[in-house]
Amino acid sequence: MKKLLFVLSLLLILSSCGGNSNSNEDETNKTNEMANFFAAYLDALCNASSKCASGFVNAENLSYCPNTILNSTKPFEAFHKGESVIFKHKYEMLKNAEEMGWVTVDMTQAKECFALVSKMEPCNPLDVQLLDIPECAKVFKGTKILRDECFQDEECKNGWCNMRGSLCPGTCVDYKQPDQGCNSSLDKCVIGYECRSSGCSKSSTGAVNDPCVNNSDCTTFLFCYVKEGDSFGVCLKRKGEGQACTDANECVVGLSCVDNICTRSRISDTVGSPCGVQPEQDEDGNDIVLECNRFSKLECGAGSVCQKMPSDSNLQCSEFCDTDRGLYCDSSSHTCQWPKTAGLTCTKNEQCASFYCAVVSDAATEGAGEVRVCQEPQCLPFADEEE
C-alpha cells in the first residue's frame, strides 16, 4: 500500500510531461474511446438483462441499470480469472491507462463483444464479468512490451502484468501460447485459453457441447454438465424459469433451484414488500431471504420491508442510497453521505468517490503514523478495510 504514493506521483509526472503542443483533435477523441466503450457495454448488458422475464432489470428500471452496475461495491472474485476488483476500479484504471498511452481500445473488436453480450439474458447483470468474456477482454490493446513496468494486465502487449507478492509496479510477462506447457500457479495463457495439465487449452467459446471441467469453463449463459463418475463434461444452455433442475448452477443466472424447479430469485419491485430473512425455511432447512431490487432503487428497510433508497444526504438508510445522486450509505451512522474526493482522510472504501481508502506512508504524513486517505486505485485493486 505504501507504494501507492509512488504510483500516483508517477502518474502526475507523466501526465505533466505528456502534454504536447502538437496534440490534435484526433488524439483527444481517442482518449474518449475507453469511456465510449464502457457506456456502450453497459447499455448492451442492461438491454440483454431486460430480456430475462424473471430478472432484476425491466422496462421501468432499465435507465437506472448502467449506474447501478458502475457504482456497485461488490468485488468480482473471478474478474479476469482470479483478480478481485470492483467494477469502477477497473473502469478508472483503464481510463487512466488510456490517457497515459498504455492501453488503446479496438472498436472493431468491441462490436464482437457487444454482439455476444447482446445474446445473453442474465437475470442479474452483476453476475456478468466483462474481462472473463474473451471477446470483450481482447478489446483492450496494451502498448508495453516484455519486462516493461505495468499496473494491470491490459497494459501489456501480448502478455500480462506480473504483480504477484509485493511487486508494485509489476512487469510485463508474455502469455503462454496455445498448446505450450504451462504452470497454472505461475503462468497465464493467451486470452481465450486456460492452463490445464496438457498445457494451454482453448476455453469454451460459448457453443453448446464445448468440453468443460466446471462452470468457469463455460460462458455466463451456459453451465458445465458432468455425468457422475466422469472427469470432463459439456457446456449446456442454462435452464429458464419453470424448468427442472438439480442445482442452481443449471438455471439462468438470477434464478434459484427450488424444489427441483428453476425459480425466480426472491426479489421484489414493490415498496412495502417483506424482505430479509423469513421465519420459514426451505425444504433443505436453509434460510429463505427475500431481496429488494437494487435496480429499482429499493433497499430492505429497518422494518424488514422494501423501501425507496434515500436520495438526499443525512437521511436514514439501511444499506444503499440513490447512486444516481452519488450518495453512499455510511455503515456506521446508517445515513446517506456524499463521498470524499482524493486526498481526504477515510476509514472505509465506501467513504471515497473512488471506492478506495488506503494507507499512506509515514514519510508522507510527516510522522503522523498510519493514515488512510481516499486515493485512485492502482497497485492494489481492492484495499483491505479497517475493522
Q: Does the pLDDT of residue 82 top 60, yes or no? A: no
Closest CA to 130 of 191, 51, 63, 199: 191
pLDDT-based confidence at residue 170 (cuts at 50, 70, 90): confident
Strands 211-212 and 199-202: unpaired
Model confidence, pTM = 0.74
Residue the block writes with cell 500516483: 8
User: Tell me: the pLDDT tens digits for 189-217?
Assistant: 888 787 877 688 877 665 678 888 877 77
**Under 8 Å between Cβ of 222 and 229:** no
Report CA torsion sign: 205, 210, 215, 217.
negative
User: Tell me: the pLDDT tens digits for 5-58?
Assistant: 334 344 433 343 444 445 445 554 555 899 999 999 999 999 999 988 777 899
The average confidence (pLDDT) of the chain is: 79
Whole-angstrom distance, CA of residue 151 vs CA of residue 379: 6
- Give the type of residue at 282: D
Q: Does the pLDDT of residue 113 top 70, yes or no? A: yes
Whole-angstrom distance, CA of residue 29 vs CA of residue 302: 47
Average pLDDT, integer, range 103-112 = 95
The lowest-confidence range among 72-76, 217-221, 321-325 is 217-221
Average pLDDT, integer, range 148-157 = 91
The lowest-confidence range among 74-88, 188-202, 269-283 is 74-88
pLDDT-based confidence at residue 141 (cuts at 50, 70, 90): very high
Q: Does the pLDDT of residue 94 top 80, yes or no? A: yes
**Under 8 Å between Cβ of 7 and 168:** yes
pLDDT at 260: 87
Which of the given ranges, 92-96, 142-146, 286-290, 318-322, has the highest pLDDT on average?
142-146
Average pLDDT, integer, range 130-159 = 90
